[in-house]
Amino acid sequence: MHHLGHSGETKEMFQAQSHLYSLTSIFVSSMSLKCAVQLRIPDVINDHKQPITLLELASALRIHPSKTTCLHRLIRVLVHLNVFAETLVPKHGGGGEEEEVKAYVLTPSSSLLLSDKATGLSPFIVAMLDPALVAPWHFLGDWLQGNRENDCSNKLISPFEAAHGLNLWDYGGQNPEFGRAFNGAMAIDSQMMNLVIKDCKHIFQGLNTLVDVGGGTGTVAKTISEACPGLKCTVLDLPHVVAGLPESENVKFVGGDMFEFIPPSDAILLKLMLHAWSDEDCVKVLRRCREAIAGKNNERGKVIIIDIVISETEDDDAEATATKLFFDMLMMTVVTGRERTKKEWEKLFSEAGFRQHKITPMFGLRSLIEVFP
């Protein structure tokens, strides 16, 4: 029988085993978070107005006494993940010296899950962990080894389409409940723009008109128009998305296909749009954008992109780097897009006929990219 003769080798082997076990069970973090959102635990803690003990939490959630320890195990994981935090409070009914028990409070992360906030991310969490978006990952290996021979259009499909027989957009159209949840998640993400518009109003200075391509129900356009009075915003999205939406003096809606036509404007906004599309499709859209800002001697014309830029060296924030790489895998699995490095963005701009651009890291994981003809 072979024995490892060096204690260092043994330690390294078990560290490697622990690392692989951790990676294998990382989905537990996601699903535990989803469970907490579905139970509305952040709202319950917030409504309690003070640190809440396990028994108080179980009572508020109507957890059967036999499952109180299970609730504790869920909360323990989420405390470890810094979703919630622990503190100590006096134990009621204790005799003699006052005893203390653990109680739970919100952290900045769980504060973003409160349902009464416009920026509450709970719908985003639930939508992104919907079974329809989880299933494609089981097809990823087969998809990577597959080819296009069975696709008469010779067009690369995503693992999502391999799993469901439809691409993401068609699936959402045929499954309205999923479609509403997904669109709601995107709208919630757009609400975060409220927090940064005041810091980047200079981006829109000197502009008279703006087209928000793929702007959905107009959340971002409304925020920009309120922050920049006089700026006329047009939201371009698919006809069924914008049909019947109420307009205002400064926010209009146009149904159409961004690959075919983008209305003329001083500037075009692409927020988290290009990362969902292949390089070839992105170049097509960017060329349409260039056409849209080229008319009327538009000296101020530019394309404003809000998207992820993957650092070609490790970011200072390891968690941010990991999240960007995870989102890149998500774009590959759910759609046919990708997250891009600075060089990859530059290649797109060059192929679309743009000469200058400026990248400014901001918006958390995202960057502001201004592209000029």
- Give residue 298's pLDDT: 61
Q: Looking at the predicted structure, is the pLDDT value of residue 361 above 90?
A: no
The label of the residue with tokens 């957009």 reads 169
Mean per-residue pLDDT, 46-61: 97
Question: Please, what is the average pLDDT of the chain?
Answer: 89
**Euclidean distance between CA atoms 250 and 271, whole angstroms:** 19
% of the chain at pLDDT higher than 70: 91
Range in 4-13, 24-33, 113-122 with the lowest mean pLDDT: 4-13
Q: 79 near 106, Cβ under 8 Å?
A: no
At residue 314, the pLDDT reads 62
Distance of CA 335 to the CA centre of its chain: 14
Give the C-alpha separation, 47 to 328, whole Å: 37
Which of residues 189 and 73 earns the better pLDDT score?
73
Taking a C-beta distance cutoff of 8 angstroms, is the pair 74, 36 a contact?
Answer: yes
- pLDDT surpassing 90 at residue 116: no
Give the model's pLDDT for residue 153: 45
Backbone angles phi, psi at 363, to 5 degrees: 60, 40
pLDDT in the model for residue 152: 43
- Closest-CA residue to 223 (of 252, 258, 196): 196
CA–CA dist 94, 113 (Å, integer) = 34
pLDDT at 350: 97
Q: Which residues contact 205 (CB under 8 A, 6 or more apart)?
A: 228
Beta pairing partners, 163: none
Q: How confident is the model at residue 98 (pLDDT cuts 50, 70, 90)?
A: confident
CA distance 156 to 135: 19
Closest CA to 204 of 178, 230, 237: 230
* Structure confidence at residue 95 (pLDDT): 52
Residue 300 has what pLDDT?
73
pLDDT at 149: 47
Distance, C-alpha 250 to centroid of its chain: 27
pLDDT at residue 198 above 50? yes
Q: What's the rounded mean pLDDT across residues 1-15? A: 74
* Tokens standing for residue 142: 């087969």
- Is the pLDDT assigned to residue 315 strictly greater than 60? no
Look at residue 91 in the predicted model and tell me its pLDDT.
84
Structure tokens at 253: 């809606």
DSSP conformation letters of 178-227: HHHHHHHHHHHHHHTTHHHHTT-GGGGTT-SEEEEET-TTSHHHHHHHHH
Q: Which of 16-25, 78-87, 298-307, 341-350 has the lowest mean pLDDT?
A: 298-307
CA 38 – CA 364 distance, rounded (Å): 25
First to last CA, the chain: 70
SS3 readout for 42-67: HHHHHHHCCCEEHHHHHHHHCCCHHH
Q: Which residue has the tokens 């891009």?
A: 340
| Mean pLDDT value across residues 148-172 | 78
Burial 342-353 (b: 16+ CB within 10 A, else e): eeebeebbeebe
pLDDT of 180 > 60? The answer is yes
Domains along the chain with CATH numbers: 7-111 (1.10.10.10), 122-182 (no CATH), 192-372 (3.40.50.150)
Structure tokens, 328: 């890149």
- Active site (catalytic) residues: 275
- Local confidence band at 363 (pLDDT 50, 70, 90 cut-offs): low
Structure token digits, residue 316: 């200072």
259 neighbors 285 (Cβ within 8 angstroms) = yes
pLDDT of residue 24: 94
Per-residue model confidence (pLDDT) at position 147:
62
Residue 108 burial class via C-beta count within 10 angstroms: exposed 0-12, middle 13-18, buried 19 and up = exposed
Give residue-wise pLDDT tens across range 241-287.
888 999 999 999 999 999 999 999 999 999 999 999 999 999 999 99
Residue 305: strand pairing partners: 270, 369
Residue 142, classified by CB atoms within 10 Å of its CB into exposed (0-12), middle (13-18) or buried (19+), is exposed
User: Which neighbouring-strand residues pair with 212?
Assistant: 235, 269
